Structure 1
Amino acid sequence: MNDAHALAARYIRSWNETDPLRRRALLEDVYAEHAVYTDPMITAKGWEAIDATIAAVQKMFPGHVFRLDGDVDAHHDMMRFRWHLSQPDASEPLVIGFDVAVLEGGHISKVYGFLDKVPVAA
């Protein structure tokens, strides 16, 4: 589904955008206003909270980049996709995740994030 891939690509772009104004514009393009993002570490409700979550992740992993990994699978009002987080020149991703998104009117209304690989604390 081409539209799902384009939406997932914009979703990933929002996680990589470091300029607050451009990131907010992407969030409003990608997410429904009262969208909910949930992963093992946080639940964020609405554009403001999702924006704050992204900013916190960027601060935690400076210079790292999110990338889609493989195809975006979609049916009805849902899509799922894998992603990697790594330094631009890294041979192995630091974090690997899998997201399931619920769509509403062409926007993401809910995200359920799963972490398949996370850094080991020293």
Structure 2
Amino acid sequence: MHNAHHLIERYIDGWNETDALRRRNLIEDVYTEHARYTDPMIDANGWEAIDATIAAVQGMFPGHRFSLAGPVDAHHDTLRFQWQLAAPDADEPLVVGFDVAALEHGRIRQVFGFLDKVPQAA
């Protein structure tokens, strides 16, 4: 269970890393080369697409930070966890999500993302 929690902490670190080289290193460390990330808004395949997705999200929510919103649950090669995205010093998160990750040799090969709370369109 400790390894699962550590992997997801690194996953979250990747979503928060704004330095392109450090972010790419985290991505290559956490995901398999041909990993797939899907949520209701994106379907990204491979390191390049995942990196571009993270950079785009950072551009949409500058200064906001991702964090775990509870424990990481794990069995076999599958993890699930809730996360949130919030502005610094915010009382409430702007976005809340729930991800399920499938692992291969200790790295993420697939993420199924669900959005539980999203901002209302202006």
Could you state the TM-score of these two structures normalised by the residue count of structure 2? 0.99
Partner of 1:79: helix, strand, or coil?
A: strand
In structure 1, runs of 5+ residues without a counterpart are: none
Aligned to 1:44: 44
Aligned to 1:116: 116
Aligned to 2:95: 95
Aligned to 2:7: 7
Partner of 2:28: helix, strand, or coil?
A: helix
| 1:106 and 2:106 matched | yes
| 1:66 and 2:66 matched | yes
- Structure 1 Cα separation of the partners of residues 4 and 88 of structure 2: 25
Aligned to 2:78: 78
- Aligned-residue CA RMSD (Å): 0.4
Partner of 2:89: helix, strand, or coil?
A: coil
- Structure 1 Cα separation of the partners of residues 38 and 85 of structure 2: 17
Partner of 1:71: helix, strand, or coil?
A: coil
In structure 2, runs of 5+ residues without a counterpart are: none
Deviation at 1:88, TM superposition (A): 1.5
Deviation at 1:116, TM superposition (A): 0.1
Aligned to 2:55: 55
Query: Partner letter of residue 86 of structure 1?
Result: A
Query: Partner letter of residue 64 of structure 2?
Result: H
Give the number of aligned pairs.
Answer: 122
Partner of 1:12: helix, strand, or coil?
A: helix
- Structure 2 Cα separation of the partners of residues 42 and 114 of structure 1: 11
- Structure 2 Cα separation of the partners of residues 42 and 84 of structure 1: 18
Percent identity, aligned pairs only? Answer: 72
Query: Partner letter of residue 73 of structure 1?
Result: D
Aligned to 2:29: 29
Cα-to-partner distance string for 1:53-107 (whole Å, 9 max, x where unaligned) = 0000000000000000110000000000000000011010000000000000010
